[in-house]
Structure 1
Amino acid sequence: MSLWSFVLRRFGRGILTIWFAVTVTFLLLRLLPGDPALAVASPNMTDEAREALLTQYGLNQPLIVQYGLYLWQLVQGNLGVSFTQSIPVLDVLMQRLPWTLLLTGTALVFTVLVGVPLGVLAAARRGTGWDRLVQIVGVTGQSLFVPSVGVLLLFTFGLTLGWFPIGGAYTNGTYGGEWYLSVIQHLVLPATSLVLIQLGSYVLTMRSTLIDALGEDYTTLAHANGMPPRRVLWKHALRNALLPTTTLIGLQLGFLVGGAVLTETVFAYPGIGRGIFEAVTQLDFPVLQGAFLMLALTVVVINMLTDLVYGLLDPRVKTS
């Protein structure tokens, strides 16, 4: 299979995935208890005014008609208007997107920078005390629950010790260098909670794949040719062991986004995750649909890029 065929197949799957996510989100939101009309119509309105408002938002149409109108708006790049804020959904999301990108990006970078070396250390010292300690860290990380970790960090380092702020993304009234420092301080606890949750998967995956690579014929041959063990580890074995880790980054991004929703809620961080929580309580369907679409699109694009990178690193993928 050629590279272009490989790309087109991944692109087609991505489009189908996004359509499926849009459809499921649309239907599930309509199953939420409560009447979304209450979010846009006041109890003091006259029947005529209420009906006109519901007509404006299409809430008095049959479900299939609402679905068709929603898809038509998406094709035109229109995500609708927020029920509660009366501004375009895209504006609402763009106000929150930079904070979510900052949080998830920081967590992903530190997870990889910490998880990969720990996995390498465990594989290089297999069977030692370091290996067992790293495995304990990995297994423990996989068993943690996002809100529990967030609340524990918040209580310990925010409320009890007072080392870090307990909510928000920055301190009001700060400017210049103080503002950037405030952003970093507010970022530490929510990012740390996401790192702790994701770390175990990277550590255990890196350890397992590197141990397998160290047992392959090409590493045995390198040792037999007198190549130093450190060079065999870093130049030959690690390069092949990084392939599954590359795939893991794409797969774990979905869990990272889901964890960000819970983390932003716990730390009152003003990202898209926090916006989803607020929109659920207010039955703001357009914001919820737009937020889930943006998250689904992000995950699909990252997974497509991961597939492409994997295909470039391992040409066998393009022919499978």
Structure 2
Amino acid sequence: MPPVVRFAVRRLGRAVLTLWFASTVTFLLLRLLPGNPALAVESPNMTVQARNILLHQYGLDQPLLTQYGKYLWQLLHGNLGVSFTQQVPVSSVLLARLPWTLLLTGSSLLLTIAVGIPLGVLAATRPHRVLDRLVQVFGVGVQSLFVPTVGIFLLFVFGLQLHWLPIGGAYTPGVYGGAWYVSVLSHLVLPCVSLMLVQLGSYALTLRATLIESLGEDYTVLANAKGLPRSKVVWKHALRNALLPTTTLVGLNLGYLVGGAVLTETVFAYPGVGRGIYEAVTQLDYPVLQGAFVLLAATVVLVNMLTDLAYGVLDPRVRTA
């Protein structure tokens, strides 16, 4: 079997085990939440008998092991169940919210990379100077920030005080055509910047450290000795190897990005999967919570697997490890 195929098979097997573990932990933790899911949908005049019938319909009167087996069987068939409170398939609930979460996280990640790489390059090419010190202080500072705190601060300043940007939602109701796209972008700015700021430091500082190391390697010293322009040595020769750890960082930070999106969507009432999780927790809607966490876990696992494969292509030594 070729090394690339063997490497891909190993990563795929690891991804499947990780997804199973995440699904199992999610199932068990939800059963530890206080409260009864039937209480979220029962009427004030519901009798004990009617409540028991409701629990039977939900399958919550069955032994835990039976519920777990049914849950796994449904997952294997791509069935996430039916929402307790909305009485519609969980897949429909999540698919309606997923595009907004993808828009938020994707925009935030692209913006982080677009800003973080130039910052890292600027700091690495001017080591121990004023600009380098500023980037290091800024990078460490933003890494210590809490996403909701950043979101609330930006919302207060730019939404409530300056009135420059909307304070919540994903778009303004009643607008169509080009105005709708402008509305979507204006509503995206604050949550996107909130997520970007807390990630920016890790990308900039990681690239700074690896690029400084690359600039001291023999091949860059030789390129300088040949008289190549400094910018070409940095951007064409040194940066390629320096980006390898940054590529891995994308996968490692994805879990933090997804978790940050859940909190950010809650702060800004952004109608993504994260906001749906918050609403489902208040209603003890087990199927929606299970489906949402499985979806997010699958996304993180998939991106991490693709990151590993990309790293293996960029660095052949990884494929034989």
Calculate the TM-score normalised by the size of structure 2.
0.97
> What is the number of residues matched between the two proteins?
320
What secondary structure, in the 3-state scheme, does the structure 1 residue paired with 2:34 have? coil
Query: Partners in 1 of 2:38 and 2:309 — Cα distance?
Result: 44
CA distance in structure 1 between the aligned counterparts of 2:246 and 2:86, rounded to whole angstroms = 42
Q: How does 1:76-91 map to 2 (within 5 A)?
A: 76-91=77-92
Query: What's the CA shift string for 1:49-70, capped at 9, x where partnerless?
Result: 3333221210101111111111
Q: How far apart are the structure 2 equivalents of 1:9 and 1:44?
A: 56
- Is it true that 1:255 corresponds to 2:256 in the alignment? yes
1:226 CA drift (Å): 2.4
**CA distance in 2: counterparts of 1:211 and 1:88, whole angstroms:** 52
Partners of 1:76 and 1:49 lie apart in 2 by: 31
Distance 1:56 1:13 in 2: 36
Matches of 1:290 and 1:230 in 2, distance apart? 48
Match for residue 53 of structure 2?
52
Report percent identity of matched pairs: 71
Is structure 2 residue 242 aligned with structure 1 residue 233?
no
Gaps of 5+ in 1: none
**Which residue in 2 is equivalent to 1:162?**
163
TM superposition shift of 1:45: 2.8
How far off is 1:228 after superposition? 2.4
How many angstroms does 1:250 deviate by?
1.0
Distance 2:44 2:77 in 1: 33
Three-state SS of the structure 2 residue aligned to 1:82 is coil
Contact 1:40/1:53, CA 8 A, preserved across alignment: no
User: What secondary structure, in the 3-state scheme, does the structure 1 residue paired with 2:91 have?
Assistant: helix
Q: Deviations over 1:148-195 (max 9, x none)?
A: 100000000000000001110001101111111100010000000000
Please show how residues 83-102 of structure 1 align to structure 2 within 5 Å: 83-102=84-103
- Quick check: 1:146–1:259 contact (8 Å CA) kept in 2? yes
Work out the CA distance in 1 between the residues paired with 2:103 and 2:158: 21
1:103-122 equivalences in 2 (<5 Å)? 103-122=104-123
Q: Given the alignment of the two structures, is residue 296 of structure 1 paired with residue 297 of structure 2, yes or no?
A: yes
Query: What amino acid sits opposite 2:197 in the alignment?
Result: L
Secondary structure of the 2:78 match is: coil
Cα deviation per residue 1:84-119 (whole Å; 9 max; x = unaligned)? 111110000001000000000000000000001100
**Separation in 1, partners of 2:246, 2:48:** 59
Contact kept in structure 2, 1:37 and 1:59, CA below 8 Å: no
Stretch deviating more after TM superposition (30-39 or 204-213): 30-39
Instruction: Render the CA deviation track for 1:231-250: whole Å, top value 9, x for unaligned.
Output: 21111100000100110011
Runs of 4+ in 1 over 6 A off after TM superposition: none
Q: State yes or no: 1:125 paired with 2:126.
A: yes
Q: What RMSD in Å do the two structures reach over aligned CA positions?
A: 1.1
Corresponding letter in the other structure for 1:131: D
Q: Provide the rounded CA distance (Å) in 1 between the counterparts of 2:64 and 2:154.
A: 44
Q: Distance in 1 between matches of 2:40 and 2:70?
A: 20
Runs of 5+ consecutive residues of structure 2 not aligned to the other structure: none
One-letter identity of the residue aligned with 2:241? N
User: Could you tell me how far apart the structure 2 residues matched to 1:64 and 1:73 are?
Assistant: 14
Q: Which amino acid aligns with 1:267?
A: F
1:35 maps to 36
Partner of 2:135: 134
Q: Deviations over 1:19-63 (max 9, x none)?
A: 000000000111111112213443423444333322121010111
Partner of 2:74: 73
Deviates more, 1:5-14 or 1:216-225: 216-225
Name the counterpart of 1:276. Answer: 277
Q: Distance in 2 between matches of 1:270 and 1:126?
A: 43
